[in-house]
Amino acid sequence: MTVSATLTALPELQPEDPGARLLLFGVRQMGAHGIHDACTAHAFVTAFGKGFRRPLVLLRALMQEMSAMSAGPIQIAPWCCARMTGAESALLQVLGRVRTQPQVSAVLLADMLGVRDATGVLITAHALANSFADMGLALDQ
């Protein structure tokens, strides 16, 4: 793959924020290996301790809802890739803004999924962002 092809397919660098990186890892692992991926569960236990269940279950729900509602495939990169796809970047923007700018997040999420209205998925995204913030790893941008 040439440099320009890589930058087209993977336009953004991974964020430095530990919460966003954990979320991105979970999205990539679940996208590749299913929503009951053990590596994701282990990463959440390690990051959140006894409170790992709420963010893990909400991420599973978000992944399932996005998969069911999406008009087409959602591009994800391998877990070890230092760059992000446009869809991954959009999802992190949605989760980073949903607590303070829900209308902007609604438009971004609907655009990412290729649908007119993604309100149901947005509610889960908001709950997921709240769970990360409650556990000390806020995704706010």
What span, in angstroms and rounded, lies between the C-alpha atoms of 18 and 8?
Answer: 25
Lowest mean pLDDT among 7-21, 37-51, 56-70: 7-21
Listed by start position, the domains of the chain span 15-135
pLDDT in tens, 103-129: 999 999 999 999 999 999 999 999 999
- Specify the pTM: 0.92
- In the 8-state DSSP scheme, what is residue 96? H
Query: Span 59-63, mean pLDDT?
Result: 98
pLDDT in tens, 128-138: 999 999 999 99
The predicted pLDDT at position 3 comes to 56
What span, in angstroms and rounded, lies between the C-alpha atoms of 79 and 130?
Answer: 24
What span, in angstroms and rounded, lies between the C-alpha atoms of 71 and 119?
Answer: 15
* Joined tokens for residue 96: 């980073």
